[in-house]
Structures are given as C-alpha cells and as structure tokens.
C-alpha cells in the first residue's frame, strides 16, 4: 500500500498519524508511506524520528480576525494545493490520510481533485474547522469519540474508531505501583495526584497547585506535577521566595516533563489537567478519575467538549479556567480521593467509554476503502 499522511504542527495531530502509519507498516511491511507537513511544526522532529519521509508545503492556520496577514496566509494555504498535487502525482498513493489541522485543506483538495481515496481522523469531540470544511468531500471520517459523529452531518461516512495512543492500560499490582511511586521520589502510603498542562505547562493550573503547596494543603495526598519546561524555572524561583526548595517539598515532586507517562498514569489515583483529545483518550484507557480545566482559548472551545465526554459519563469533574483557584481545586481533589469508593467508581466509568482495538479498527477501514 502506498500512503500519504497529512499531519502538522502539534503532537495531537502528528502522533495519531504516526500510529496509523506504524499499524499499516506492521500489517504490510512493503508499504510506502510519506508524510506531508510544514517547515515549522513538530512534524520536522517527530516524523523523521519515527522513520518516515517528510515533504513540506506552505500552509497556515486560519485566524478568524480579518487582517491583511490572515488573508495572505489563507491565500498561501489554498495556493499550496498546487504543491500538494505535485507530491500526489509523483508518489501516486493508494490513499491519503489526514489527522486534522490546516495542512489537510490543501492536501485533501488536491487528493479529491485527483480522485485518490481519502480519510480523515478527528480526535476531538468537537470537530475542527478543517475537518468540517472537508467533511462532504472526503470518502470517510474516523472519530475518536461518538459525540463527534453527530457533529458531522454532511459527511458521507463517519466511523467511531477511537484515537491511537502510545499509552496502554497496565494491570499493575500494589507492589508494582509502589515501585513506580518510589522511583519518582514519592511515598507508597498516600494517594497520588498527577498534574500536568501539556508540554509547555498551563499557567492557571500551575498557580492553583502552587498555592496548595505553599499552604501545605496536601498533607493527606501527594502530587507529581509536570509543570512544563517553560515554567519550571519560574516556579522554582517563586518557591525559593517562600524558603521552599523545589527538590525537597513534602508530599510533592515537581518536574519539567514526565518521560514515563504510561507508568505514572497507571499508578496514580487522580489526574488534574487540561482536556486535549489525547489526554481524554489516555485517561479513559487507563481508567482514572479526572479534574479537567479546559483551555479557554481552544478553537471552538473544543477542550470543554472533550472534557464533557468523561464528565457526562460520571468519570470527571470540570472547573472552568475563569473559576479556578486553589480552594475550589483542593475541595474537588479531596472529595474524589476521600469519599469512599468514589475514585474507583469514576475510574470504572472512565474505562467504559474507551474504544478498544483502535489501530485495528482504523486499519480495517483503510484496507476496505483501498480495495474498493
């Protein structure tokens, strides 16, 4: 099978594309796969690192404000259809796959014009502008959550496949969980709250957690906190003003980034985070209760829609960014951790919305379309 994958800018778009490519390679070792991206996004690191060729075109995100720069970017993006068409003509793919974002617009307009089979994958519960724009033109759309299906009324075919993720459910016993906690630098006799806000951190979440730490409110539980590379040093300085050494805080471990996220997610008791599609997918997969603070500036408020997937199932609580403070967060944490049976019940409800066999679902649909 010859495949083009359009994926650009963020890990939330690129990593599902790589996972789909890996599954195709696993099933058909002689497959040829090429990615199309831009010169500016994470694809320039992640795609070659995964062992795939990356070809680039000029494409930009659409800002809803009418400005001269925005108009120029829109024109450049649409015009890059010509470059995408050249790549398609030279490579002659059996199928073109896109994982959302502005890169899909020129690539899929080119693919449709060349009558190449096309599929899109939407990991968010509320489909993005590019997916909605292309929904009537492409052959099939895969969605991570069933909530997204009803929001694509113009699509020819929508299939709930789930979203590929590297994180898997690990059926850990208490000894295995305790070893992970000790390796992190935490005790094994208190529950653990995992806090993160994405690779660059989330300032509002960081501020609330910082206040909890300063006032020593986490006496009955522990925090493992991925503060984000850009904010770690700022937090360290602020704590030093309170005579608190960042490497020696009771019941707390603060790091710029968590590299063994699968282990930590599976061994923690509660997650506090933003609500990107990948985060929701991973929390459902490992079966953990969540407290979500959706990014308020996310396009079309899609993070709040993502959070509601778990909240509506009874697996999570939502605190809007504008309402977030240390007291509200602390009360929610303690309620989930220390109400008998609550965290276990929420965890089971989280797992109930997991879509199983994601990569297999996607591969089978792609194979059917190619063969047809």
Of 51, 39, 35, residue with least CA distance to 2: 35
Place of tokens 């113009």: 154
Confidence at residue 11, expressed as pLDDT on a 0 to 100 scale: 85
Tell the CATH topology of 2-163+356-371. Rossmann fold (3.40.50)
Which pLDDT value is given to residue 257?
A: 87
Q: List helix spans (H) across 259-325.
A: 261-267, 277-286, 302-311
3-state secondary structure 44-82: HHHHHHCCCEEEECCCCCCCCCCCHHHHHHHHHHHHCHH
Cβ atoms 370, 94 nearer than 8 A = yes
Across the chain, which has 372 residues, the per-10-residue mean pLDDT values are 94 92 97 95 93 90 64 70 96 97 93 98 94 96 95 96 93 96 94 83 86 94 90 91 92 92 97 95 97 88 95 98 96 98 98 95 97 90
Cβ atoms of 93 and 2 within 8 Å: the answer is yes
Q: Is 26 exposed, middle or buried (0-12, 13-18, 19+ CB in 10 A)?
A: exposed
pLDDT of residue 9: 86
- pLDDT tens by residue, 98-150: 998 889 999 999 999 999 999 999 999 999 989 999 999 999 999 999 999 99
Same fold, 2-163+356-371 and 174-352: yes
Q: How many CA atoms are closer than 13 Å to the CA of 232, on its beta-carbon side? A: 18
Q: Where are the domains of the chain?
A: 2-163+356-371, 174-352
Q: What is the pLDDT of residue 73?
A: 63
pLDDT for 201 equals: 56
Q: How many angstroms separate the CA atoms of 96 and 93, rounded?
A: 7
- Give pTM, 2 decimals: 0.89
Q: Are 292 and 309 in contact (CB under 8 A)?
A: no
In whole angstroms, give the CA distance from residue 133 to residue 120.
12
The predicted structure's pLDDT at residue 198: 62
pLDDT for 83 = 94
| Rounded Cα gap, residues 245 and 215, in angstroms | 14
Class of domain 174-352: alpha beta
Which helix (H) or strand (E) is 86 found in, with range?
A: helix 81-91
């Amino acid at each position: 099978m010859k495949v083009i994958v359009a994926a650009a800018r963020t890990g939330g778009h690129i990593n599902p594309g790589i996972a789909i490519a890996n599954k195709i390679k696993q099933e058909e070792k002689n497959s040829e796969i090429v990615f199309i991206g831009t010169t500016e996004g994470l694809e320039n690191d992640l795609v070659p690192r995964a062992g795939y060729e990356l070809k680039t075109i000029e494409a930009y995100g659409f800002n809803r404000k009418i400005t001269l720069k925005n108009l120029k970017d829109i024109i450049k993006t649409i015009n890059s259809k010509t470059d995408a068409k050249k790549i398609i003509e030279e490579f002659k793919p059996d199928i073109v796959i896109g994982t959302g974002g502005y890169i899909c617009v020129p690539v899929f307009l080119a693919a449709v014009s060349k009558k190449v089979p096309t599929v899109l994958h939407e990991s968010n519960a509320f489909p993005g502008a590019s997916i909605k724009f292309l929904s009537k033109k492409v052959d099939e759309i895969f969605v991570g959550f069933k909530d997204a299906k009803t929001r694509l009324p113009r699509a020819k075919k929508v299939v709930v496949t789930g979203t590929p993720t590297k994180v898997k459910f690990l059926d850990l016993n208490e000894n295995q969980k305790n070893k992970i906690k000790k390796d992190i630098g935490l005790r094994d006799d208190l529950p653990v709250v995992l806090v993160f806000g994405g690779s660059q951190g989330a300032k509002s979440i960081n501020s609330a957690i910082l206040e909890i730490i300063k006032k020593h409110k986490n006496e009955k539980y522990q925090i493992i906190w991925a503060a984000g590379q850009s904010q770690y040093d700022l937090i360290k300085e602020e704590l030093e003003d309170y005579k608190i050494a960042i490497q020696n805080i009771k019941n707390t471990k603060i790091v710029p980034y968590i590299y063994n996220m699968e282990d930590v997610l599976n061994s923690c008791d509660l997650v506090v985070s933003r609500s990107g599609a990948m985060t929701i997918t991973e929390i459902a997969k490992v079966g953990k209760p969540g407290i979500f603070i959706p990014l308020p500036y996310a396009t079309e408020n899609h993070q709040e829609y993502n959070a509601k997937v778990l909240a509506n199932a009874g697996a999570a609580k939502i605190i809007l960014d504008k309402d977030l403070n240390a007291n509200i967060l602390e009360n929610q944490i303690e309620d989930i951790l220390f109400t008998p049976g609550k965290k276990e019940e929420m965890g089971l409800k989280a797992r109930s919305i997991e879509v199983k066999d994601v990569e297999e679902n996607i591969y089978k649909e792609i194979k059917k379309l190619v063969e047809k």
